[in-house]
């Protein structure tokens, strides 16, 4: 049985439990109230991550934010991303590029590969380092292969761009005018410190670009895949979503980010997928930097803290009929209140505290847009002869066991003109 399934089994029904894995205390949380105590009240003590095998590969030796344990480099990178990549003005600046990407999605209805299951998978040697040489399940080899594929794709683009901005005979001028910063990669390359030197090294840029790609691809595609499957299995809900899109957007144009506030039911569908179908069973392991006591529980320095995304999102003490896909459960506070973040930690979408997601507004917009565009632009149906879609998960991850296979028939006449 995979390690994560074993942990989910033994922790089911318990608010908090401590197990010993190798020589380590691993504390697992299934209760929103306790989660908030750890990640809000005692946030400063739990803001460091455990150094994971997957994070080392992904972050070029822990150079990017999401995998950097804690310290000066994490602060520098977090400041750069907050002020230069995901600030409200940057989000506005990039909105037409995102619309263009959303058009591509409609054009190439496709399935993105899910790398997240590798990054977030529980890898036994992270808790028992003496076992690392065994590479249980070939996990490290797969991570190396995944990273080498990504580098093959990203590196030439990043290096060519760096050469342009930083190389000898820099082409920072075109036709006598200063070259314009066109995208987020240009932004990262051109940042300077107080003395006018490049703020980020090539490795830091590569690590951060890989991390942002991971962060922004897997969650939205996971929501779209599970969302379509759940909605197709419950045609009444699908009709409700389509009615909202037709009423708010109509059939003469494609849905845009500016429509999102008027699409509470689509947001509720996305939120329900984030509650029920997660890209990973746990969040990244937090590591307390000193001995501490939380809600009466003594937690020694060096323990690992795991918030169970499954234990929270599918918790029967928190959610009625938790395994049922029911977007309406998120509509009870009124349509204006529906949003993807869950600050009360009744499930984990963007988490909370110092290590919470930096891209919540961007991630929300991308996720809702992807689902809304796929729903609006196509009539979806089961393959002929198919009954309900099988919602089984893979044994080794929470991804859909069988890739979703459904028919998409364009439903907007404007698509014929566009494509
Ligand atoms: C629907 C989309 C997204 C979801 C559901 C999501 C979720 C999360 C979660 C749960 C964490 C905390 C990790 C943990 O506790 O294990 C996180 C961290 C992070 N996310 Fe996101 N994310 C999304 C999109 C994005 C986007 C678009 C960006 C940036 C452009 C981003 C940047 C980050 C960064 C940098 C961190 C690490 C923060 C730190 O360690 O200090 N995310 N995300």
On whether the CB atoms of residues 263 and 368 are closer than 8 A, the answer is: yes
On whether the CB atoms of residues 245 and 372 are closer than 8 A, the answer is: yes
Return the higher-pLDDT residue of 258 and 56.
Answer: 258
Return the higher-pLDDT residue of 175 and 88.
Answer: 88
211 Cα–ligand 1 center, Å: 9
Measured at the CA of 158, the angle between CA 189 and CA 350, to 5 degrees, comes to 75
> What's the pLDDT tens digit per position in 111-144?
334 444 444 555 556 666 665 555 666 677 777 7
Name the residue with the closest Cα to ligand 1, atom 20: 357
pLDDT for residue 306 = 95
pLDDT for residue 176 = 56
User: What CATH number corresponds to the domain at position 340?
Assistant: 1.10.630.10
Q: What is the pTM of this model?
A: 0.86
94 Cα–ligand 1 center, Å: 19
H/E run at residue 409: strand 406-410
179 Cα–ligand 1 center, Å: 31
Distances (CA, A) of 231 to 29, 54, 152, 171, 269: 30, 33, 37, 51, 9
Ligand 1 site, residue 285, Cβ cutoff 6 A: no
Ligand 1 site, residue 359, Cβ cutoff 6 A: yes
Residue 190: give the domain boundaries: 3-418
Dist CA 301 CA 288 (whole Å): 5
Ligand 1 site, residue 374, Cβ cutoff 6 A: no
pLDDT for residue 54 = 58
173 Cα–ligand 1 center, Å: 35
Percent of the chain with pLDDT over 90: 49
Ligand 1 site, residue 348, Cβ cutoff 6 A: yes
Quote the tokens at residue 144. Answer: 């190396």
> What's the pLDDT tens digit per position in 221-249?
899 999 999 999 999 999 999 999 999 99
Name the residue with tokens 């070939």: 138
Quote the tokens at residue 68. Answer: 């950097």
User: Does residue 59 surpass a pLDDT of 60?
Assistant: no
Ligand 1 site, residue 66, Cβ cutoff 6 A: yes
pLDDT for residue 110 = 37
Ligand 1 site, residue 284, Cβ cutoff 6 A: yes
Ligand 1 site, residue 219, Cβ cutoff 6 A: yes
> What's the pLDDT tens digit per position in 93-115?
888 888 777 777 666 543 334 44
pLDDT for residue 369 = 93
> What's the pLDDT tens digit per position in 131-187?
555 566 667 777 777 778 778 888 899 998 988 888 765 556 655 566 788 888 999
Tell me what the pLDDT averaged over the chain comes to: 85
308 alpha-carbon distance from chain centroid = 15
Least confident of 36-40, 65-69, 298-302: 65-69
358 Cα–ligand 1 center, Å: 6
Ligand 1 site, residue 357, Cβ cutoff 6 A: yes
Ligand 1 site, residue 216, Cβ cutoff 6 A: yes
Long-range contacts of residues 413-416, Cβ cutoff 8 Å, at least 24 apart? 413/251, 414/251, 414/252, 414/253, 414/254, 415/106, 415/377
User: Does residue 25 surpass a pLDDT of 90?
Assistant: yes
Ligand 1 site, residue 80, Cβ cutoff 6 A: no
Question: Judging by DSSP bridges, how do beta strands 24-29 and 16-21 pair with one another?
Answer: antiparallel
pLDDT for residue 105 = 67
> What's the pLDDT tens digit per position in 384-395?
777 889 999 998
Least confident of 44-48, 66-70, 412-416: 66-70
Cβ-based neighbours of 108, under 8 Å, separated by 6 or more: none
Ligand 1: which of 121, 363, 369 to mutate, judged by most atoms within 8 Å of the beta carbon?
A: 363
pLDDT for residue 14 = 96
Quote the tokens at residue 334. Answer: 């009124």
Overall domain count for the chain = 1
DSSP, res 358: S
Name the residue with the closest Cα to ligand 1, atom 37: 66
Ligand 1: which of 358, 361, 371 to mutate, judged by most atoms within 8 Å of the beta carbon?
A: 358
Name the residue with the closest Cα to ligand 1, atom 14: 283
User: Does residue 209 surpass a pLDDT of 70?
Assistant: yes
């Amino acid at each position: 049985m995979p390690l994560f399934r074993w942990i989910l089994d033994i922790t089911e029904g318990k608010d908090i439990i401590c197990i010993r894995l190798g020589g380590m205390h691993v504390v697992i949380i299934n209760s929103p109230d306790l989660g908030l105590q750890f990640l809000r009240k005692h946030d400063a003590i739990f803001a460091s991550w455990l150094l994971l095998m997957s994070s080392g590969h992904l972050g070029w030796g822990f150079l990017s934010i999401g995998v950097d344990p804690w310290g000066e480099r994490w602060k520098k990178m977090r400041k750069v991303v907050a002020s230069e990549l995901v600030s409200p003005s940057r989000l506005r600046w990039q909105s037409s590029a995102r619309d263009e990407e959303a058009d591509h999605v409609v054009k190439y209805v496709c399935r993105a590969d899910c790398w997240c299951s590798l990054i977030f998978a529980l890898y036994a040697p992270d808790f028992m380092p003496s076992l690392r040489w065994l590479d249980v399940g070939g996990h490290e080899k797969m991570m190396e292969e995944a990273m080498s594929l990504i580098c093959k794709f990203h590196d030439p683009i990043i290096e060519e761009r760096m050469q342009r901005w930083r190389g000898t005979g820099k082409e920072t001028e075109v036709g006598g005018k200063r070259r314009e910063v066109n995208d987020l990669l240009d932004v990262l390359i051109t940042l300077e410190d107080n003395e006018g030197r490049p703020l980020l090294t090539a490795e830091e840029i590569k690590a951060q670009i890989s991390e942002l790609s991971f962060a922004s691809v897997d969650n939205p595609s996971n929501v779209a895949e599970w969302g379509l499957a759940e909605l197709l299995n419950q045609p009444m809900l699908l009709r409700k979503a389509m009615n909202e899109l037709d009423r708010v957007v109509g059939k003469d144009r494609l849905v845009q980010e500016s429509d999102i506030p008027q699409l509470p039911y689509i947001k509720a569908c996305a939120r329900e997928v984030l509650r029920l179908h997660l890209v990973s069973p746990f969040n990244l392991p937090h590591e307390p930097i000193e001995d501490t006591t939380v809600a009466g529980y003594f937690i020694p320095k060096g323990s690992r803290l795991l918030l169970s995304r499954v234990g929270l999102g599918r918790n029967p003490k928190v959610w009625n009929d938790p395994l049922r896909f029911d977007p309406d459960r998120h509509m009870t506070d009124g349509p204006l209140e529906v949003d993807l973040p869950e600050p009360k930690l009744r499930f984990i979408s963007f988490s909370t505290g110092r290590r919470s997601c930096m891209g919540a507004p961007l991630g929300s917009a991308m996720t809702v847009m992807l689902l809304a565009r796929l729903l609006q632009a196509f009539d979806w149906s089961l393959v002929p002869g198919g009954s309900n879609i099988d919602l089984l998960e893979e044994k080794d991850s929470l991804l859909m066991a069988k890739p979703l296979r459904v028919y998409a028939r364009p439903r907007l006449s404007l698509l014929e003109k566009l494509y």
